[in-house]
Structure 1
Amino acid sequence: MKTIRIGAGAGFQGDRIEPAVDLARRGELDFLIFECLAERTIALAQQARRRDPASGFDPLLERRMRAVLPHCAANGTRIVTNMGAANPRAAAALVYRLAREMGLSTRVAAVTGDDVLDRIGCHLLEETDQPAAALGERLVSANAYIGCGSIVAALDAEADVVICGRASDPALFLAPLVHSFGWAMDDWTRLGRGTLVGHLLECAAQITGGYFADPGFKDVPDLARVGFPLAEVSADGNAIITKLPEAGGMVSRATCIEQLLYEIHDPARYFQPDVVADFSAVTLDEVGPDRVAVAGASGTPATRQLKVSVGYHDGWLGEGQISYAGANCVARGRLALDLVRARLVDCHEHVHEERGELIGLNSIAPDRMCRDSKPNEIRMRYAARCVDEATATRIGEEVESLYLCGPAGGGGATKSAREIIGIASALIPAEQVVTSYEIMEGQDAPA
C-alpha cells in the first residue's frame, strides 16, 4: 500500500531549526510542514506589515529555508508552511529569490485570502457579543482559519514550497494527503483521519517528549537532541507516528495521548474548516520502538463557519523586575512592591490593571502560597496595563529606581514597555472567505 512520509519542521515561531534540518536531510520525506503561527503572532505580523509593507512574515523564514531547501530539493521533499503570516506573497517572493540564489529551480507558491479585515466589522466577537466594528481604530487584524483547498491546488500545480498565512494547523498536513491520495473533499472519514495526523504532528517535539518530560515521573532519553516527529500515512488515512532512529526523544502511546488531548474540547466534534473531526474512537498502539499506530478517526461535514482571529490594540504593558537575596529577602521584596505602588499613585487613572508578585514565592499560584516559605532569593515583578506608552515607561523606571531608593540589596533590575495586542474570536461564513494561490515566477517575485 502506498504511504506518504510527512514530517513536522516546527511547532511554533521560535522553534529549533536543527531537528527540521535532520528530517530534511535523512528523513526520506515526501512533505515537511512548518507550523509557526499563533493567534497573537499573526496580529503582531499585521502590525509589522503596516509599518513596512514588505514585511509581515515569519522573521525566521530566511534562516529556515536556507537550512532546509538544499536538502529538500535533493531528496524531493516538498514544503508547506504558514510562515507567510500577514504577508504570504512577500514570503513566497523571498523564498523564490533564495532558491534562485542557491541555484535551485524550486517552484514556490503563495496562498492568500485569509485576511478578512475589510469584512469582519459586522460580525460579533465571541468575548463581548459586540460587532468587531465597535473596536474602532483599535482593530488591528482579522484572519480567518482557512482550510486546505488552495494549498492542495498549489500542490496540484507542482509547487515545491507552498506558503500561506492563517490556515488551520491540521490543514497544513491534511493538504498534502488530499493531494497525494486524491481524497474527495466530502470523504469525511479520510478527512477526519488526515486531520488527526495533522493534530498529532502540529506541535513538533511536543509529541516526541519535549513538552512531555518531567524528571523522575516521565523521563525522556537524550532530550538535548530531541527530534521532530514524522508520520507514515496510508491511503486510508491511518498512520504510524515515529521519529528518526538516531534522534533524541521518544514516541510512545503516552506522548501521543497527551498530544491527542491538546486543545481538544469535545473529542467527538473537533471543528475544522474542512471537516468536523471525530477522535472519540481513536486507537493508539505501540507497534515497535518509537512507533505508534493511530487509527479510528472519522468525521462529518464542516459547519461552513470559519473561526476568525481578531487582533486589537489593548493598551500598553509597563513592567519592571528586581531581585533580592539572602536573609529577609521576602520582606524586602514586599517592601519594594509597596514602595512602587505608593510612588505610582498619581498614575492610577492611566492604569487599567496592575499586578505585583514575588517570583519564586507567589507568582504562579498566589492563592496557594506557603506562608512559612523562606526562599533564599526572590525576584520582584511589578506590571501594569496602561492607557499610554508614557505611563507604561514610568512603571519600569520606578522599579529601576529601587536600586538606591528602595530596600537593601536589590540587583539585576530590568524594565520594558510594549504595546499590548489583544485577541478576540469571531465566526464568518465560509463563502465570504475566498482563497487562491499564485506561483512566483520572474516579475511575480519582485526584489
Structure 2
Amino acid sequence: MSASPNTVRIGSGAGFAGDRIGPAVDLLRDGGLDDLVLECLAERTIALGQQRRRLDPTSGYDERTRERFAALLPHALARGTRLISNLGAANPLGAGEVVLEVARGLGLACTVAVVTGDDVLAQLDLDQPCLEDGRPLHERGEIVSANAYIGAETLMPGLRAGADVVITGRVADPSLFVAALADRHGWDLDDTDVIAAGTLVGHLLECGTQVTGGYFADPGRKDVPGLADLGYPFADVAADGSVELGKLAVTGGVLDRRTVREQLLYEISDPGAYLTPDVSLGLYDVRIEETGADRVRVHGARGATRPEQLKTSVGYRAGHRAEAGISYAGPGCVDRARLAASVVRERLAASGTPIRVELTGSLSEGDGHHGEIEHARLRVAGMASSLDQAQHICHEVESLYTNGPAGGGGVRTSASEVIGIVSTMVDRDRVTPTTTILEA
C-alpha cells in the first residue's frame, strides 16, 4: 500500500467535524494509504455532543457519521485501508453501531473497535482548579461534561485485534496517528524518540488541509492555487520516525515549507514541551526541507517522558445566547438601521442585559449608484442567564417590523444554550479505557 515496504503511508481525512468528505474519498481511492485518520473532535464539539446525548441517549456522536462512512467504507475495505476517527464524540458506541449499519446496508463485512472511557464526569473532583484561571471547577456552576484526552495506548487493543475501523471519543488528536504508526511499525510506546516523531506527524496532519494551504491562504501575500479543489495531506513514515509529507498531484492547494511551518506552530504553547498523553514533544530541533513539488521532509522531533496527568475538557452551563437581525433597504437604509439600533438599546436597557449591536451593508453596483449603500442589516446579540431573557432580546428585534423604522424585513432570530469550556487535569489512574469489538 505505502510508497515502499519500509514505510507506512498515513493520510488525513478530516480536520474538524464540518470538514469536506469528497477530498477524503479521493485520497482514500488514489493515495495508496495504509491508514486514514479523521480528526473530528474539538473541545466544544464534544461538550455539545454530551448536551445532545442528555436529551437523546442514542445521539451524541458526529452527526455526519453515516454520511462519511457511506462514502469512505467501500473504498477502505476494498483497499485494506484502516479508518480511525474520534467522531464518536460523546457516544462512541452509538457511532460504532452506525458504522455497522452502513456496512450491512452496503453488503460489506466489517469489524469495528470502539474505544470508551474518556468520559470522567463521575470521577471529576470539583475542587480541581481550571487551567485557564485557577478557579475551582465548582465555581462554574453546573458541570455537564468532562472528557479526558486519552492516548495512543487506548487504541492498540482494537488495532491488534485486526479492526477495519476504530472509533473513539476524546482521544488526543495526534494520538490517533501515533497509534496507527506504532501498530504498523511495532513501536514501543515507551520509546520517547519514535513516539515524538509519530506525534509530530499527527500534529502536522491532524488539521487536514491546513497543511496544504487551507487557513494559510492570504491573497497577494500567500497565494494558494486551486483552493476550491484543496486536497488532504498524507505522510510516508519510516520505522525510525523519519517522515515526508505529500498530497495528490491532481488536487489543489500547496504543501511547502511555509504551510508546514505554520501548522507546526499551530496551537503550540511551549515548543520545548508540547504535552500529549503519549509524550512531551520538543520542537526546537525540528527541520523542514522541501524535497520536491508538494513534498516536504520533516525531522528532528525530540521526546521526553509523558505527563502523569491527563488534560480534561470540562463543559458547563454558561447561560443563553440570543442573536437577531433585521434588514433595511433602499434610500436612507443606514439611517433607518441606526434608528432601529437605538430603539432596541433603549428598550433593552431596563432589563440590564448587555447586548452587542452591529451594522453591515452592501454597495449598489448599478450605473450612477456606485458606492451607495443599498442594503443595511442590523445584528443584535447578547448573553443572558436564562432562555426567557435571551428570547426577550429576540422579541424586541422582531417587534421592529411594526414598532420601528419603515421598511424593515428579513428578521431572523435564535436563542440557544451556551456550553462553556474550561480545562483541568486528572490522574491517569482515574481513567479506565475499554475496547468493544463490533462485527457486521
TM-score, scaled relative to structure 2: 0.93
Q: Does 1:18 align with 2:22?
A: yes
| Partner of residue 357, structure 1 | 358
Measure the CA separation in 1 of the matches of 2:372 and 2:324.
Answer: 23
Measure the CA separation in 2 of the matches of 1:153 and 1:188.
Answer: 20
Measure the CA separation in 2 of the matches of 1:281 and 1:29.
Answer: 29
| Partner of residue 98, structure 1 | 102
Q: Does 1:132 align with 2:130?
A: no
2:254 alignment partner AA: M
Measure the CA separation in 1 of the matches of 2:291 and 2:373.
Answer: 47
| Partner of residue 264, structure 1 | 268
Q: Is the 8 A contact 1:24 1:71 kept in 2?
A: yes
1:440 aligned counterpart, secondary structure = strand
Q: Is the 8 A contact 1:221 1:248 kept in 2?
A: yes
| Partner of residue 191, structure 1 | 195
| Partner of residue 367, structure 2 | none
**Alpha-carbon deviations, 1:87-112, whole Å to 9, x = none?**
11111122123212222221101001
1:274 aligned counterpart, secondary structure = coil
Q: Does 1:402 align with 2:418?
A: no
| Partner of residue 365, structure 2 | none
Measure the CA separation in 2 of the matches of 1:166 and 1:374.
Answer: 50
Distance apart, 1:178 and its partner CA: 0.8
Measure the CA separation in 2 of the matches of 1:113 and 1:43.
Answer: 15
Q: Is the 8 A contact 1:32 1:80 kept in 2?
A: yes
Query: Does the C-alpha gap of structure 1 residues 375 and 240 become closer, same or farther in structure 2, counting only changes over 3 Å?
Result: farther
Measure the CA separation in 2 of the matches of 1:206 and 1:409.
Answer: 43
Measure the CA separation in 2 of the matches of 1:88 and 1:245.
Answer: 35
Distance apart, 1:223 and its partner CA: 1.2
Measure the CA separation in 2 of the matches of 1:186 and 1:208.
Answer: 31
- 1:258-407 aligned at under 5 Å gives the runs 258-325=262-329, 329-348=333-352, 351=353, 353-359=354-360, 377-407=375-405
Out of 406-415 and 309-318, give the one that drifted further.
Answer: 406-415
Distance apart, 1:376 and its partner CA: 5.8
| Partner of residue 369, structure 1 | none
Measure the CA separation in 1 of the matches of 2:262 and 2:337.
Answer: 38
Corresponding residue pairs, total = 427
Measure the CA separation in 2 of the matches of 1:55 and 1:149.
Answer: 26
Measure the CA separation in 2 of the matches of 1:164 and 1:429.
Answer: 20
Q: Is the 8 A contact 1:121 1:131 kept in 2?
A: no
Measure the CA separation in 2 of the matches of 1:75 and 1:313.
Answer: 45
**Alpha-carbon deviations, 1:120-144, whole Å to 9, x = none?**
13322234534334445x2110000
Distance apart, 1:326 and its partner CA: 5.5
Cα RMSD of the aligned pairs, angstroms, is 1.9
Q: Is the 8 A contact 2:333 2:376 kept in 1?
A: yes
Measure the CA separation in 1 of the matches of 2:7 and 2:426.
Answer: 36
1:355 alignment partner AA: R
Question: For 1:57, which of 53, 57, 61 is the aligned residue?
Answer: 61
Query: Does the C-alpha gap of structure 1 residues 326 and 267 become closer, same or farther in structure 2, counting only changes over 3 Å?
Result: farther
2:155 aligned counterpart, secondary structure = helix
**Alpha-carbon deviations, 1:183-212, whole Å to 9, x = none?**
111211111111111111111111111211
Out of 262-271 and 325-334, give the one that drifted further.
Answer: 325-334
Query: Does the C-alpha gap of structure 1 residues 326 and 265 become closer, same or farther in structure 2, counting only changes over 3 Å?
Result: farther
Q: Is the 8 A contact 2:279 2:303 kept in 1?
A: yes
Distance apart, 1:44 and its partner CA: 0.7
Query: Does the C-alpha gap of structure 1 residues 360 and 286 become closer, same or farther in structure 2, counting only changes over 3 Å?
Result: farther
| Partner of residue 366, structure 2 | none
Q: Does 1:163 align with 2:181?
A: no
Out of 121-130 and 229-238, give the one that drifted further.
Answer: 121-130
Measure the CA separation in 2 of the matches of 1:72 and 1:187.
Answer: 30
Q: Does 1:35 align with 2:39?
A: yes
Out of 376-385 and 174-183, give the one that drifted further.
Answer: 376-385
Q: Does 1:45 align with 2:49?
A: yes
Out of 90-99 and 321-330, give the one that drifted further.
Answer: 321-330
Q: Does 1:226 align with 2:226?
A: no
Q: Is the 8 A contact 2:83 2:166 kept in 1?
A: yes
1:438 alignment partner AA: T
2:381 aligned counterpart, secondary structure = strand
1:87 alignment partner AA: N
2:104 alignment partner AA: R
1:354 alignment partner AA: I
**Alpha-carbon deviations, 1:134-190, whole Å to 9, x = none?**
445x21100001111121221011111000001111111111011111111121111
Q: Is the 8 A contact 1:191 1:298 kept in 2?
A: no
Q: Is the 8 A contact 1:120 1:132 kept in 2?
A: no
Out of 337-346 and 59-68, give the one that drifted further.
Answer: 337-346
Distance apart, 1:17 and its partner CA: 0.6
**Alpha-carbon deviations, 1:398-444, whole Å to 9, x = none?**
112223322344333211101111111111111211212110147xx
Question: For 1:423, which of 418, 421, 424 is the aligned residue?
Answer: 421
Q: Is the 8 A contact 1:330 1:374 kept in 2?
A: no
TM-score, scaled relative to structure 1: 0.91
Q: Is the 8 A contact 2:70 2:102 kept in 1?
A: yes
Question: For 1:414, which of 395, 412, 437 is the aligned residue?
Answer: 412
Distance apart, 1:45 and its partner CA: 0.5
1:318 alignment partner AA: A
Q: Runs of 5+ in structure 1 lacking a partner?
A: 362-372, 443-447
Q: Does 1:202 align with 2:206?
A: yes
Q: Does 1:142 align with 2:164?
A: no
Out of 69-78 and 394-403, give the one that drifted further.
Answer: 394-403
Q: Is the 8 A contact 1:120 1:133 kept in 2?
A: no
Out of 408-417 and 22-31, give the one that drifted further.
Answer: 408-417
**Alpha-carbon deviations, 1:38-94, whole Å to 9, x = none?**
111101101111111111100000000000000000111001100100011111122
Q: Is the 8 A contact 2:109 2:439 kept in 1?
A: no
Q: Is the 8 A contact 1:274 1:302 kept in 2?
A: yes
